[in-house]
Amino acid sequence: MPETPEPFVPRTDPAVLEDLRARLRATRWPDAPEDAGWSLGTDLAYLRELVAYWADGFDWPVQEATLARFPRFRVRVGGLGIHYAHVRAVAPAGPVPPLVLTHGWPDSFWRYSKVIPLLTDPGAHGGDPADAFDVVVPDVPGFGYSDRPAAPLDSIAVAGLWAELMDVLGYSRFGAAGGDIGSHVSRYLALDHADRVVAVHRTDAGVPVFTGDPAELTPEERAWLESVAAWGAAEGAYAAMHRTKPQTAAFGLTDSPAGLAAWIVEKLRAWSDCDGDIERSFTKDEILTNITLYWLTGTIGSSMRMYRANAAIAPAQLARRVEVPSGFSIFPGDLVRPPRAWLDRTANVVRATEPARGGHFAAFEEPELYAEELRAFFRPYRAAMG
């Protein structure tokens, strides 16, 4: 892997796609209780429909070419080959700040594929050309087209890699944004590289950790902590598997594309603002583009192992307060929505909003809203970043 960036344009071998289709057509289906729907996990009828389309209707080469419209590269950083999209501002009107966007699970740089044009060329999408960014969207190691690390990396280590990557790209000062694991990584960029990160924007505050006296918390914070615990009991089995025995699940999910689809599509539905109808938030082509990236790169196991690494982060690290100017956009369909008091407890909040629509994958579900949130938040910091 080169020490300087090299263009990266993947071309999937047709034989690999034929093997995928053969596996899909040979799926051995489980039974399901009558009228179970989505109540026990992924709905059998929906997955059959999705898998049939994946085998005989989905056109991966078209989707691969669509993703190739972004300039993409690979470079060696911290001993690992890192894949990233690097899209420069179009016809900027003034200084151009760089912005690094970090995805979460279960996705990749795909999460930001709709919003990149809105951020790099706002004038062509109803925005002010003066709000343009240079955008860098890496795949976290173990996800997408980045290398799979020999041992799983935690969010602190990934933040260090991103600081090094931005050095390679010539950006001494920059903004950071993300959600899910990407929120965690962005937080540590702000904590450990505050001399370079001018401002940080997040769509969540992560899973809360509080080791102090509960009496110090506001009633809203205590109620939120209780709701998070209840959510974990009802919805957190996937995360417990990722933290404890990810390799066991990886065997089945790496071997069976239908199993991989079931594992991912249930989360896309449950975590998006779709009111139970997943295709209100994602088309079948969009769902399958995300899942096919996992299949072709063989990264479902390595992506899950990051949960185990993050679970080992010391409580003292989790308790650190972010002093870099912080913004939060808490979308209504997201998993666990923290109260303002918690945001202020954990970060130097200069802007917090609750957009009208969107969920955990807001940058993909509602790209226009998400782009406007980033433009508005970073506007006062553009000069310091450019």
Active site residues: 180, 307, 360
The two tokens of residue 79 are 């001993």
Return d(Cα 182, Cα 202) in angstroms, integer: 8
The two tokens of residue 85 are 């999209």
Whether the Cβ atoms of residue 50 and residue 24 lie closer than 8 Å to each other: no
Beta strands in 89-231 (DSSP E): 98-102, 134-138, 174-178, 197-202
Return d(Cα 112, Cα 115) in angstroms, integer: 5
Q: Secondary structure of the chain: what % helix, strand, coil (to 5)?
A: 50, 15, 35
Residues 6+ apart with CB under 8 A from 121: 89, 90, 91, 132
Which residues, listed in sequence order, are joined to residue 359 by a DSSP beta bridge?
A: 333
Return d(Cα 341, Cα 188) in angstroms, integer: 21
Whether the Cβ atoms of residue 130 and residue 94 lie closer than 8 Å to each other: yes
- Using alpha carbons only, how large is the chain's radius of gyration in Å? 20
Whether the Cβ atoms of residue 49 and residue 265 lie closer than 8 Å to each other: no
Whether the Cβ atoms of residue 198 and residue 324 lie closer than 8 Å to each other: yes
Which residues, listed in sequence order, are joined to residue 349 by a DSSP beta bridge?
A: 326
